[in-house]
Amino acid sequence: MTYTNFTIDTDTDGLALVTWDMPDKSMNVFTAHVLEELNAIIDAVVADAAIKGVVFTSGKSTFSGGADLSMIKGMFTFQAEEKKKNPDTATEKLFALCGQMNGIFRKLETCGKPWVSAINGTCMGGAFELSLACHGRVASNVKSVKIALPEVKVGIFPGAGGTQRVPRLTNAQDALQMMTTGSSLTPQRAKAMGLVHELADPDKLIDAAKTMLKNGLKPVQPWDEKGFKVPGGGIWTPAAAQLWPAASGILRRETFGNYPGALAIVKCVYEGLQVPFDTGLKIEQRYFTQILQTTEAFSMIRSLFVSMQELGKGARRPAGIAKSKFAKIGVVGAGFMGASIAYVTAAAGIPVTLVDRDMDAATKGKAHSEGLVKDSVGKGRMTPEQGEALLALITPSADYNDLSDVKLVVEAVFEDRQVKKDVIEKVEAVLADDAIFASNTSTLPITGLAKNSKRPAQFIGIHFFSPVEKMMLTEVIMGKETGDAALATALDFVAAIKKTPIVVNDTRGFYVNRCVFRYIHEAYDMLIEGVPAAMIENAAKMAGMPVGPLSLNDEVAIDLSQKILKASIADLGEASVDPQHMTLINKLVDDLDRRGRKNGKGFYDYPAKPAKKSLWPGLKDLFPQKPADAFDVTVLKQRFLATIALEAARTMEEGIVTDPREADVGSILGFGFAPYTGGTLSYIDGMGVKAFVALCEKLAASYGDHFQPTALLQDMAAKGETFYGRFDPYAAREAA
């Protein structure tokens, strides 16, 4: 029999090599068809007496990243359709669907013939769960191999046997750590944990797997043998009595109960280790069915898995324009941002000309990359040779003529209109006719900057976030005259440097910064009301934000907040800024010289290392503080999330953001908006627009008109609409 996604070759020793190599795919992924073929292969192996054992591997440079987008989306579509047909049986049918993959993997490990998984690259999610079902595992002994069960990061958990096999192979503490964080393991760490049996050089991987079979690998898993004992002694031991309360407490501390999938992992392991293996699989299947029906799982998978991949693959790229290939990129401005942009460009294998006012400044910019390379080499993330090759791609220059042959120039000079005007004119004097000019600006509207350009259709914004080498998001900003060619080129560049783009129309602060400063300004309001600073920070973290608003303001710089507030007053009038906010910030910056982390004092004090930062005690003297029990933590949490989500809704109403996927992904990647919600608009859709409007009206009555729901929200609430319904990102594509 021939297969679409697999090939089978049996040698003279009766060892079958099953190679997973999906056509027209850069990476193997699980689909319904893949599972059908795998199931048939297991049957064929059992039926063929000549086959003594099986090596399962990948024909690609990497093993597999797990489930396919269509498969994940299909599970949610399935349950929605079943609920419409018959709500009484929908959950039962979803339960059966959730057990399909597990049933195939269990069939594999009990088929009576030994299987060895030969892991040759990234092996994640369901792919590693398949490997765990094999009786032996050999991994390639190279740094490119990453082994993980990362499902918790998208709102679910390892539901194809992972929660039952991992803690039966390694101790419960390591198993919980691996699955509740979704962190990747090196081959060495996986072997030390007992999750991989052997390591081999890449060119000897298959031979090592076959040798394992030839040496008499048992076709029986440890948990299926009589007398099996769980590593560490199981649940009912003195060590376990210490582990489980601590594990629950740590999870609560880290997640504040916001992630049902993470809690389900703990339950699956705890309950599953007390029963036979097959019963444990049923427990896992039950919890997986439950988690798939949560708002958190639906929203996180949609934003962090489906939408992020779609945007990364160019969902907003204009059709009919040839894809750009970059022989060289120009970066003007070798300061911190420009130097970092040059680094990530070179890291993607693209030559960069880094231009500044003189060679000393340009060379200093390249030195930033040298520091990053040295750090990466020191941590083993990069070889010295790779580091040298990266640095060789960055050419410092003080001559604008060196930009004459580039396809794209990214300007990253000081945030000053006149400075940028001068750079635009100098660059355009030498730039090729079809080249694109992109400004990296976080505060200045692109349309205004484009007035300094002779060709505004080829002028666009690409807003990077700091630190550039770590932040995955970029905002691509369309000026009023920006053309499709500029947009396509910008998106091609962002894809080339492996960032996720969102496309926004021009406005002050664009999208992310508008939302960020609403978050920070709500903290100002709370300080003024007398909420203790520690309570403000902790309530924000309890709401799901990774960093408290006061800490975040210190990172972006308090004097930058002052500059932005003053610019708003200059451009929009006194009414655009709360006078109490201006007084607070002026006091901190002008009177106390507290500018944030950059000068070692802001809302926090920053002592010399190894001492940790701490909230500045003087904050309590700026405004009369009330006791903590005078405030409802639930309300504080609601205020933070609602004020940000309201700002996101305003950007949709104003046409700044036009695709709800971008609002959601941008809010999570840009500033960490409570990931369990799926992002700003999913937060609103998740609770229902009508309920959100009611919440906002309640908050407005107590905390100010900035909580008043917009006309768009009122209209949507009256019509029972959602953002993903009213602004369906797929409608235009389907219509075409």
Assigned token pair, 18: 């099953």
- DSSP strand pairing (136-140 vs 115-119): parallel
Assigned token pair, 484: 């499709």
Q: 540 CB contacts (<8 Å, ≥6 apart)?
A: 519, 523, 547, 548, 549, 636, 637, 640
Q: Distance (Å, rounded) from C-alpha 484 to C-alpha 463?
A: 18
Q: Using the 8-state DSSP alphabet, how is residue 445 labeled? A: -
Q: Using the 8-state DSSP alphabet, how is residue 125 labeled? A: T
135 included as an active-site residue = no
Three-state DSSP at 478 gives: strand
Question: What are the strands, taking DSSP E only, across 294-416?
Answer: 329-332, 352-355, 394-397, 408-411
Residue 145 near residue 165, CB atoms below 8 Å: no
Say how many residues make up the chain. 736
Q: Distance (Å, rounded) from C-alpha 220 to C-alpha 108?
A: 10
Q: 341 CB contacts (<8 Å, ≥6 apart)?
A: 331, 410, 412, 440, 464, 468
Assigned token pair, 492: 């091609």
Which runs of consecutive H residues, i.e. helices, occur in 604-653? 619-622, 633-653
CA angle 501, 507, 513 (to 5 degrees): 60
Which residue in 626, 474, 633 sits closest to 543, CA to CA? Answer: 633
- DSSP strand pairing (614-615 vs 604-605): antiparallel
Which residue in 694, 693, 697, 651 sits closest to 670, CA to CA? Answer: 651
Backbone angles phi and psi of 280, in degrees to 5? -60, -40
Q: 357 CB contacts (<8 Å, ≥6 apart)?
A: 398
Walk across the sheet containing 198-200 and list its strands. 6-10, 15-20, 53-58, 115-119, 136-140, 198-200
According to DSSP, the residues that pair with 476 across neighbouring strands are: 462, 503
Residue 58 near residue 21, CB atoms below 8 Å: yes
**CA 72 from centroid of its chain's CA atoms:** 17
What one-character-per-residue DSSP string does 13-57 give?
TSEEEEEE--TT-SS--B-HHHHHHHHHHHHHHHH-TT--EEEEE
According to DSSP, the residues that pair with 397 across neighbouring strands are: 355
Q: Is 182 left (phi over 0), alpha (psi -120 to 50) or beta?
A: left
What's at 463, amino acid-wise? Answer: H
Three-state DSSP at 384 gives: helix
Residue 179 near residue 265, CB atoms below 8 Å: yes
Question: What are the strands, taking DSSP E only, across 455-591?
Answer: 459-464, 473-478, 500-505
Residue 187 near residue 194, CB atoms below 8 Å: no
Q: Which letter, b or e, does each residue of 536-551 get, where b requires 16 or more Cβ atoms within 10 Å of its Cβ?
A: bbbbbebbbbebbbbb
Residue 174 near residue 193, CB atoms below 8 Å: yes
Q: Using the 8-state DSSP alphabet, how is residue 412 labeled? A: -
Q: Where is 572: in which H helix or E strand?
A: helix 558-572
Catalytic residue from among 135, 463, 521, 581: 463
Q: Annotated active-site positions, please? A: 463
